[in-house]
């Protein structure tokens, strides 16, 4: 067709567009890749999928007897296109509008090159493209509004959850403050009474017993908080140790029975079927789990009994704790295993506790590969909790009958045996004057002679100037810490036994101490029996 040709009706213009369809799409794509930011990096354009249909609808509109109505109907393709592209963030409304304008430019130039100048057709083409832009704009705005509303709803829900979590933590901190202050108050109060010059021996014994009990309670609270923190941070390290299950259960049930009697209720330990004599799991965490569950049952059972039923099947130990306590309502079960909450806030006020026991028990059970759950509970009648723990056993391990287990008595407490360290020279490297005094007094009572250094540098100097049977060394000290002091001693050729003392209870700290050259590791607060038993064991070959 030459440049002098001229179409004077819409049908002819439509035919021209149909013939030029491929050229329109090709030229349009080239322009888009030069001018549309997203298109420069994309192999596909925003309108590439819908453009052929868009052009077909434009041709239909030009051929229609009522082009404006037809344009309204055909421009729905823009709406469908906008909806399809809304989930692709690289295609913004501005870029879509630019592509529509470039389409208008391409059509105008090609029709001009063909010599087409029908004014009515030109207006229809412009209006059709404007409708496409309008439809796309409306749809994009609708979708943006919908997204914003969804985001606002999510933000609101997140805010509500954060407020609930904050309230739970605030309540927990208030409870924890009470739990810490209560034993501290008792300790400080009875220490004050012990300073009274007019006090009988019986009163001294009673006051010291109360101080001891509250100190242990305070330590358990701190341990629970630290353990929960480690579990939630994914830093809880569990060990696989073979131990005597029957002796373990006998010891545990003996202590649980004592606590139950103090509470005025009955405790019964029942082995439901033969148990393996030895098992492999983490005995420390197992004791913690059972102490939490059984201790909880005893605490909330004011009358009646608590039963601990143990069974073994297919390398799995099952512990079922049944009590006749106050029970748990359906509503209270919702938060039963959530940190920073208890079944009822009044529970804390009446019975004490941080609200961490059950959630920590569940997380510890899961860390050991098992689980912990509430089987059933009824208000006023009691509850049943169950712990399932997988264990490993050796093929040669004996499986004991129920009668064997029931007849097994708690093993002799070695800590009650006399610890004699008379004549041994011990160097204590410790910066705390109170801990110096405490440990020195403990060791003096065993007959040992104690020399004290107040920091690592002083400890190294004294250790190298005199022969000591054993060194007790704190890890965290001024001037030179325990690890640095240990390194210097080994470099100087010191080969005697050195025991690490630290307030850090993490397994990683123990492993670091052993790697540094320490022979053993003791955690503060120092337990008198544990310390003396360890020293007796270390020095027994050199008994004087």
**What's the whole-number mean pLDDT along residues 382-387?**
94
**What's the whole-number mean pLDDT along residues 304-327?**
94
pLDDT over 70 (residue 506)? no
Which of 336, 535, 353 shows the shortest CA–CA distance to 444? 535
* pLDDT band for position 487 (cuts 50, 70, 90): very high
- Terminal alpha carbon distance of the chain: 122
Q: In whole angstroms, give the CA distance from residue 237 to residue 220.
A: 19
**What's the whole-number mean pLDDT along residues 457-478?**
94
Residue ranges and CATH numbers for the domains of the chain are 10-155 (1.10.490), 178-232 (1.10.287.130), 241-411 (3.30.565.10), 417-542 (3.40.50.2300)
* Residue 350 CA, distance from chain mean position: 29
* pLDDT band for position 75 (cuts 50, 70, 90): low
Q: Are 13 and 121 in contact (CB under 8 A)?
A: yes
pLDDT over 90 (residue 386)? yes
pLDDT over 80 (residue 348)? no
Q: Give the range with max mean pLDDT: 100-109, 211-220, 267-276.
A: 267-276
- pLDDT tens per residue, range 404-445: 544 554 444 444 444 478 889 999 999 988 889 889 998 998
**What's the whole-number mean pLDDT along residues 445-470?**
94
* pLDDT band for position 460 (cuts 50, 70, 90): very high
Alpha-carbon distances, residue 534 vs 81, 422, 431, 446, 472 (angstroms): 79, 15, 22, 13, 11
**What's the whole-number mean pLDDT along residues 313-331?**
91
- pLDDT tens per residue, range 116-154: 766 777 787 887 778 777 777 777 777 778 888 888 898
**What's the whole-number mean pLDDT along residues 388-412?**
61
* pLDDT band for position 263 (cuts 50, 70, 90): confident
* pLDDT of the residue at 417: 42
pTM of the model: 0.48
* pLDDT of the residue at 411: 47
* pLDDT band for position 493 (cuts 50, 70, 90): very high
Comparing 19 with 415, the larger pLDDT belongs to 19
Lowest pLDDT segment from 47-56, 109-118, 244-253, 453-462: 47-56
**What's the whole-number mean pLDDT along residues 335-345?**
57
Alpha-carbon distances, residue 81 vs 39, 40, 125, 129, 148 (angstroms): 16, 20, 19, 14, 21
Nearest-10 Cα torsion for 71, 73, 75, 77:
-150
Stated as kind and residue range, the H or E segment containing 537 is: helix 528-539
What mean pLDDT value characterizes the chain? 80
The one-character DSSP state at 245 is H
* pLDDT of the residue at 509: 78
Q: Give the range with max mean pLDDT: 106-115, 137-146, 181-190, 384-393.
A: 384-393
* pLDDT of the residue at 396: 47
């Amino acid at each position: 067709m030459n440049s002098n040709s001229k179409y004077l009706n819409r049908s002819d213009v439509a035919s021209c567009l149909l013939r030029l369809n491929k050229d329109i799409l090709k030229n349009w794509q080239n322009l888009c890749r030069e001018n549309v930011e997203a298109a420069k990096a994309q192999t596909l354009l925003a309108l590439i999928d819908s453009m052929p249909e868009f052009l077909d609808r434009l041709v239909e509109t030009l051929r229609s007897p009522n082009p404006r109505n037809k344009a309204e109907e055909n421009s729905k393709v823009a709406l469908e296109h906008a909806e399809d592209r809304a989930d692709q963030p690289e295609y913004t409304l501005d870029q879509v509008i630019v592509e529509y304008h470039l389409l208008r430019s391409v059509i105008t130039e090609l029709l001009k090159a063909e010599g087409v100048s029908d004014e009515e057709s030109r207006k229809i083409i412009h209006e059709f493209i404007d409708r496409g832009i309008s439809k796309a704009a409306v749809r994009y705005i609708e979708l943006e509004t919908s997204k914003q509303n969804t985001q606002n709803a999510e933000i609101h829900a997140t805010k509500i959850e954060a407020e609930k979590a904050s309230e739970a933590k605030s309540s927990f901190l208030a409870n924890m403050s009470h739990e810490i202050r209560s034993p501290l108050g008792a300790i400080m109060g009875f220490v004050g009474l012990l300073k009274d010059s007019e006090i009988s021996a019986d009163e001294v014994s009673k006051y010291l017993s109360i101080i001891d009990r509250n100190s242990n309670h305070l330590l358990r609270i701190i341990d629970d908080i630290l353990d929960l923190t480690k579990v939630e941070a994914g830093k809880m390290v569990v060990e696989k140790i073979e131990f005597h299950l029957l002796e373990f259960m006998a010891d545990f049930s003996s202590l649980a029975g004592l606590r139950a009697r103090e509470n005025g209720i009955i405790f019964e330990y029942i082995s439901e079927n033969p148990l393996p004599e030895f098992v492999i799991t983490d005995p420390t965490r197992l004791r913690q789990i059972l102490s939490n569950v059984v201790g909880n049952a005893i605490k909330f059972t004011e009358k009646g009994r608590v039963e601990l039923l143990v069974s073994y099947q297919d390398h799995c130990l099952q512990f079922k704790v049944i009590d006749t306590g106050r029970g748990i309502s359906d509503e209270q079960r919702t938060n039963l295993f959530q940190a920073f909450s208890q079944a009822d806030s009044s529970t804390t006020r009446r019975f004490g506790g941080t609200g961490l026991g059950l959630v920590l028990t569940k997380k510890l059970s899961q860390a050991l590969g098992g689980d912990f759950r509430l089987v059933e509970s009824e208000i006023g009648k009691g509850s049943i909790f169950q712990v399932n723990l997988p264990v490993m056993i050796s093929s040669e391990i004996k499986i004991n009958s129920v009668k064997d287990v029931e007849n097994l008595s708690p093993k002799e407490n070695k800590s009650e045996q006399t610890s004699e360290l008379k004549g041994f020279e011990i160097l204590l490297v410790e910066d705390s004057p109170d801990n110096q005094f405490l440990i020195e007094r403990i060791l003096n009572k065993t007959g040992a002679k104690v020399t004290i250094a107040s920091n690592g540098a002083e400890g190294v100097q004294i250790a190298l100037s005199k022969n000591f049977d054993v060194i007790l060394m704190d890890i965290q000290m001024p001037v030179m810490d325990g690890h640095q002091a240990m390194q210097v001693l080994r470099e100087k050729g010191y080969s005697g036994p050195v025991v690490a003392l630290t307030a850090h209870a993490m397994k990683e700290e123990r492993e670091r101490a052993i790697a540094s050259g320490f022979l053993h590791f003791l955690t503060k607060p120092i337990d008198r029996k544990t310390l003396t038993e360890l020293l007796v064991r270390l020095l027994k070959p050199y008994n004087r």
